[in-house]
Amino acid sequence: MKLTKSAKKLENRNTAGIILKPDSPEIEKEYYEIVDYFKAHNIEVFLEEKSSKMINLNNGYSLEELCQKVDFLVSVGGDGTLLSVVRNSFKHDIPILGVHMGTLGFLTDIVYEELPKFLIDFFNDNYRIDNRMLVECQVNDKNFVAFNDIVISRKTVSSMIKIKAKIDGASFNNYYGDGVIISTPTGSTAYNLSVGGPVVYPLTEAFIITPVAPHSLTQRPLVMPADIEIEFKIKDEQGAVLLIDGQDTYEVENNTVIKVTIAKQKAKLIHRTKRNFFEVLNDKLQWGN
């Protein structure tokens, strides 16, 4: 695998669906400028309904409708906005361009001020599409998808949680501490990194299993192949809390089994051709300085 290998590029670039950062009406001006940038390249723009209402418009479409209507999506905000868009649109297999309103993000590498220049490259086929692994989580009769990570956490700060873990049906560990992070390579630079987990190249397909404040010093992060099923069983009378990408929270009861597998679909992120993951590490984490 080459570090910058691109997935199949877009056959059509005629329509774009825009999703704005929630609760940020102050970016209305930038939205209209983005529309002008796209119109200059004959791209018709459609706005997501919540974003539309946020800036006092009434011409929005549901994300489901957008995915069926447009050639690609544009997430305007930051990494958190892009995470949400990926999770809620992944089943449509539609590429997403992340536009960052601040500095360079881990996921959103097109800074707003650079968008006009990028669009020139975009129409000269000077871009790439990265396929990123997602994880799927099954709990009882519900299924969740995460782009960064799934966290199984204790319910109260005054006690630890015990979690029994299996891989492909075989017992491999008992975790006792604050919880466990099941991360994708993309999410390895998020919560996983802050608790001592490894950085994994984002186009790799692997699970990173990292204990949070484990009671035993012998508990260490694991990097496992993505073609396995990981099973976690809650062994705590208080139950546990399940966090999906740090955005959605669900409570689960004692003896609940949580199954984690690689998702069938991939996230498709549109990037600059010259985007370099190690340069991002250097910029964001002072890697190598």
Which whole number is the average pLDDT over 237-247? 94
Domains assigned to the chain: 15-132+266-285 (3.40.50.10330), 135-262 (2.60.200.30)
φ/ψ region of 77 (left if φ > 0, alpha if ψ in -120 to 50, else beta) reads left
Q: Which residue has the tokens 């997403």?
A: 96
Sign (positive/negative) of CA torsion 86, 197, 175, 249? negative
Q: Dmax of the chain from CA atoms?
A: 60
Catalytic residue among 23, 79, 93, 236: 79
Tokens encoding 251: 């409570």
Residue 156's pLDDT is 85
Q: What is the pLDDT of residues 53-104, one digit of tens each?
A: 999 999 999 999 999 999 999 999 999 999 999 999 989 999 999 999 876 6
Residue 109's pLDDT is 82
Residue 159's pLDDT is 86
- Give 4's pLDDT tier (boundaries 50, 70, 90): low
Beta-bridged to residue 244, according to DSSP, are: 150, 248
Q: Which residue has the tokens 């479409």?
A: 61
Residue type, 135: V
- Give 158's pLDDT tier (boundaries 50, 70, 90): confident
DSSP state of 89: H
Mean pLDDT of the chain: 92
Q: pLDDT at residue 3 above 80? A: no
- Give 138's pLDDT tier (boundaries 50, 70, 90): very high
- Give 218's pLDDT tier (boundaries 50, 70, 90): confident
| pTM for the whole structure | 0.91
Percent of the chain with pLDDT over 70: 97
9: number of Cβ within 10 Å: 13
Percent of the chain with pLDDT over 90: 82
Give dist(CA 232, CA 219) in Å, integer: 16
Q: Where are the beta strands (DSSP E) in 12-61?
A: 15-20, 44-47
**Quick check: is 79 catalytic?**
yes
Q: pLDDT at residue 203 above 80? A: yes
Q: pLDDT at residue 1 above 70? A: no
Residues 6+ apart with CB under 8 A from 85: 19, 63, 73, 75, 96
Residue 74 burial (C-beta neighbours within 10 Å; 0-12, 13-18, 19+): buried
DSSP state of 21: P
Separation in Å, CA 51 to CA 28, 71, 248, 262: 10, 19, 20, 31
Q: Which residue has the tokens 């669009």?
A: 119
CA atoms within 13 A on the CB side of 24: 14
Residue 87 in contact with residue 145, Cβ under 8 Å? Answer: yes
Q: pLDDT at residue 212 above 60? A: yes
Tokens encoding 32: 């209209």
Q: Which residue has the tokens 């968008």?
A: 115
Residue 208 in contact with residue 188, Cβ under 8 Å? Answer: yes
Which whole number is the average pLDDT over 196-219? 93
Task: Select the more confidently predicted residue: 105 or 164.
Answer: 164
Q: pLDDT at residue 148 above 70? A: yes
Question: What is the secondary structure of 183-241 as a DSSP string?
Answer: E-SGGGGTHHHHTTPPP--TTS-EEEEEEES-SSTT---EEEETTS-EEEEE--TT-EE
Three-class DSSP category at 273: coil
